A and B are shown apart, each in its own frame.
Chain A
Amino acid sequence: NAGVMQNPRHLVRRRGQEARLRCSPMKGHSHVYWYRQLPEEGLKFMVYLQKENIIDESGMPKERFSAEFPKEGPSILRIQQVVRGDSAAYFCASSPRTGTGTDTQYFGPGTRLTVL
């Protein structure tokens, strides 16, 4: 059973370019979460999505960042006009939704974004 898959694993962008990070949830999981991790810090919640719906994007910067989880295909975290402060590890997690409280989130290997 494949786990959460993320690609690319490493991404280098110059300031002003766009970064697209992809996440395929575990089989059978319909809920996706994105987190950002700065060096030597814990993960910070960014956004929670279900298929074709953004449920909570309260942790995402209001500008330049967007996320989607289409009916078909992976979830995409998009960062436009990247700046050096966007350099971080971006992790995706997925869970089933059992409706009985908080579901365990399983994380992918992350995408390490470096902005030059």
Chain B
Amino acid sequence: GESVGLHLPTLSVQEGDNSIINCAYSNSASDYFIWYKQESGKGPQFIIDIRSNMDKRQGQRVTVLLNKTVKHLSLQIAATQPGDSAVYFCAENSGGSNYKLTFGKGTLLTVNP
């Protein structure tokens, strides 16, 4: 079935380095993608989103890249800080649904001081 998956389940970086978290999606009809950050014991926190008519979007210290040709999504975090340690999920609007999100399994980012 259609699914969203992540290449790496864990990522460990040094404080100050840049982090890149990758995500592959398989439903070519999806046209909206979101990255969420989830800290232990908390709900997912919206980070940044992108629609399929764009290939790049920047926020504060974060950049999302979308490659529709290979159905790939990535989240780049600049100057990673200990507070960035969390599980990061990519999500897509399932096959173009305007409300149903399909989540990947998540990548655990650990930032070492």
Which residues of the other chain, B, contact A42 by a CB distance below 8 angstroms?
4, 89, 91, 103-106
* Among listed A61-69, A71-79, A100-108, interface-contacting one: A100-108
Quick one: given A42-B103, A43-B89, are A102 and B43 in contact (CB under 8 Å)? no
Q: A56-B99, A101-B98 are in contact. Are A109 and B42 (CB under 8 A)?
A: yes
Closest beta carbon of chain A to B21's beta carbon, Å: 14
Which residues of A come within 8 Å of B, CB atoms? 4, 6, 31, 33, 35, 40-45, 48, 55-56, 59, 91, 95, 101-110
Partner of A108, one of B4, B43, B94, B103: B43
Question: Which chain A residues lie closer than 8 Å to B34 at the CB level?
Answer: 104-105
Closest partner residue, chain A, to B94 (CB atom): A45
> Which residues of chain B (75-95) have a CB below 8 Å from chain A?
89, 91, 93-94
Residues on B facing A (Cβ under 8 Å) = 4, 31-32, 34, 36, 42-46, 49, 51, 89, 91, 93-94, 97-106
Complex contacts, B36 vs chain A, CB 8 Å: 107
Q: Which residues does chain B contribute within 8 Å of A44, judged by CB atoms?
A: 103
* Complex contact B98–A103 (CB within 8 A): yes
27 contacts between A and B (CB under 8 A): A35-B101, A35-B103, A40-B105, A41-B105, A42-B89, A43-B44, A45-B94, A45-B102, A55-B99, A56-B99, A59-B100, A91-B43, A95-B99, A101-B32, A101-B51, A102-B93, A102-B98, A102-B99, A103-B99, A104-B34, A104-B46, A105-B46, A106-B46, A107-B36, A107-B44, A107-B45, A110-B42
